[in-house]
Structures are given as C-alpha cells and as structure tokens.
Amino acid sequence: MKKIASVMTALVVAGGLAACSGSDGGGSSESGTVTIGSIHPTSGALAGVGGLMDDGAKLAVDDINAAGGIKALDGAKLKLSSGDSQGKAEVGQSEAQRLIADGAVALVGTYQSDVTQNVAAVAERGRVPFVIDVAVDDKILQQGYKYAFRVQPDATSMGTSGAQSLAKIGQDSGTPITSVAYLHIEGAFGDSVFKAFEAEAAAQGITSVKEITYPATNFSDATTQVREAAAAKPDVIVATGYYPDGVLIAKAVSELKPDIQGLYGIANGAFDDGSFPAASGESGQNVLSANYHYDANDERVADIRTRFEAKYGKPMETASILSYQAVEVVAAGLEKSGSDDPEKLREAIAGISIDDPLLAFDGPITFDERGQNENATVIVMQVQGDNVEQVFPQEFSTKDLVFPATAAR
C-alpha cells in the first residue's frame, strides 16, 4: 500500500501548472499562471462522466496550487480552461483549436476515442502536449504523433489482457471457458477492443462465436442484441461500451436469463462504475469488468476521492481519477522542464516517470516512443452487493472472486 507521505512529494513535483514572469514559454506568464485546456463531453448523453472528469482536472489544479504551485516556475499557479466536446469529434476539434488559441500550453481529455483522435491531430499541428486521460483506440497513437501521451492502457492491451484474465478465471475456478459472444458499441472504440480480444482469445482456446454491434446513439433497449448473443450458446457474454448501454445490457441479460457462466465487460464504461450496482439492481450482481481502475488499496486515492465527493457531491470514479492524474503529468512536466514553453514541456513529459500512480498499475507512469504509458495495467472488478470490488489479480484484490458469475435469477 502506498503511503500518503510518499504522495506529498508527488504533489510538490506535480504541484502547480503555471508559469511565472521569468518563464520562457507560452502560458500567461505575465500574470504568473499557466493555462491547461480540459476537453470532455460536459453536455449530451455522456455529460455525467464528462462533468466528473472536468471536475477531476479542476481538483488536481486546486491541489497543486494549494501545495505552492510549480516550484521550478517560482510558484506559478495553474489555470484550467474547460471545453465541451458535446460528445462530437468535430466539436472537440474546434474546442481544442480555441483553447490553444487562448493560450493553453497543454490539453487533457477527452473520454471518447473518435473525439480524442481529432484533438490529438490539432495538438500535433499546434505543437502543444496532449495528455489523454481516457480514450482506448490504438490508432490514436499510431500516427507518429510526438505531442500525444496516454495514461491508460490502449485497446490492444485491454483486449489482450481481458482475454487472458477471462481464460485464467475459468481455469482457476474449474469451469474452463471455450466460447464467448461479444457485444460492442459501433465505432473505433468498440471495434479496436474486440479485435484485440478476439486474437488473444483464440490463442487462449476461446472462440468468439458471435460478434454483435449496436449504435452509439438512440440505443434504448438491448434485448434484441442480448437475445442474439444468447442464441449462439456461449459460455460467457462479453460487452464493450459506455455507461448507458452497459446498464441496458446487464438488465437484458438478467431478464432473458441465458445459460451462461457470466457477463464480462472489457473497457466497459458501466460495470466498474460506483453507481452501477444501484442503477442495475439485481441484474448487476456478480457482473465482471476487465478495465483500468483506481487503486482501491491506495491511501492517496482514498484521500482524493473523499475530498472530491465532499466538494462536488458525487463519487469520484476512475475516469475522473485519470483526469486528475493527467493534470499531474502536465505539472510534473512543468517542474522537470522549468518552462511553460509547450515544446520544452513536451520533451519533459516524454521522459517523465511518476512513481506513485493513482491507478492499479504495475509500475510508474512512463511513456514509450509512441506516447503510451508502458506500465498501464488491466485488472478485473466484480459487482458484489452494493460495491464494485477488485477481484483479480490477487495483489490488487479487495474481495474474493465469485465465478460462475451469474446474476440473481
């Protein structure tokens, strides 16, 4: 378990994304501040999670400023400037352009892969660092970009690790899994995770007997899709998507009662969200989720989440923690570079190491030549009672795994 004392150093290192009058770069140096742009879907269907992510970035800025600001810039303070993508790629692109034009020396965001792809392209053209908090698609970092960095696992690692974990769970429980039906949302996000899962599942002796997609908008009932998945007679139904559709899928599985060993999410925006047990009721019980997740055993995480809920009146979920962490990455880059010049900041972030990550990762946050965090890790959670518990692997577990993982019927 990491100690709060070890974190105070991280807050000082990450403390205060702002430039001072002595800096040599592009922030609001005359006023002693540095501006970071935060782009998330704060309106539309994903406004709930988008708002929480923007609030997570705000809390990080507040914490860093309260700790004394950026020491390498004479205590300069951070300023967060927020943009609303509305869940649309073209709007996210225009918001990125606006924020950079208004003086942002770095961007964080954006939750959706399609939006993130457009923002990454804008950041590259503007030569401004972009720290991706949530967006999984491999293609985002396959463009040869130099200014984009991703904290969370990418689609390949999530799909691959999701398949490996599912196979191991079946083996350890004495109920080997040989087939799955896979439900996923249309678009780059769902397609990329599924393809990675399918390849590794085959290597693990698991056949994807059915792939079923559903639209990203105007999706109000998953019964037809779940019925089609169940007709393929899989051992497990796997689902990749966002929160609203995840709840619908869990309820449809519970209502149709297919003969399966469990419902298993990979990169699913619902199944490991703290509000999912209440939203799904009995249909959510024992649902499994392979995903990145805040480290529930970490004292610093507990402190941040407690203060977040006291300030904003809502639990701080993993996506919001990642936004907080993304701001810390930018802050640490400012400390390392001693400059608010975006190009010097990019160089610093590329070579940074944050030894006390907020997520359940295998090591420090460091970026490879693509900008991908080399130590980003997928773990498995499970809904048990009113809580989402970490259940696999053992070193991150908060409760024992229940498998077969069928919901109450």
> What per-residue confidence (pLDDT) applies to 12?
37
**β-pairing, 379-384 with 288-291?**
antiparallel
> What per-residue confidence (pLDDT) applies to 362?
87
> What per-residue confidence (pLDDT) applies to 216?
85
> What per-residue confidence (pLDDT) applies to 19?
34
Q: Please provide the CATH number assigned to the domain covering 156-291+379-396.
A: 3.40.50.2300
- Rounded mean pLDDT for each run of 10 residues along the chain, 409 residues in total: 38 37 45 92 94 98 98 97 97 98 98 96 98 94 96 94 96 95 94 95 97 93 97 97 94 95 95 92 95 94 98 96 98 97 98 95 95 95 95 93 77
DSSP string, 4-44: HHHHHHHHHHT------TT--SSS-GGGTEEEEEEEE--SS
Listed by start position, the domains of the chain span: 4-153+295-350, 156-291+379-396
Quickly count: other Cβ atoms within 10 Å of residue 351's Cβ.
Answer: 11
Burial 171-197 (b: 16+ CB within 10 A, else e): eeeeeebebbbbbbbebbbbbbbbbbb
Q: Which fold has domain 4-153+295-350?
A: Rossmann fold (3.40.50)
Q: Quick check: 184 and 241 in contact, CB under 8 A?
A: yes
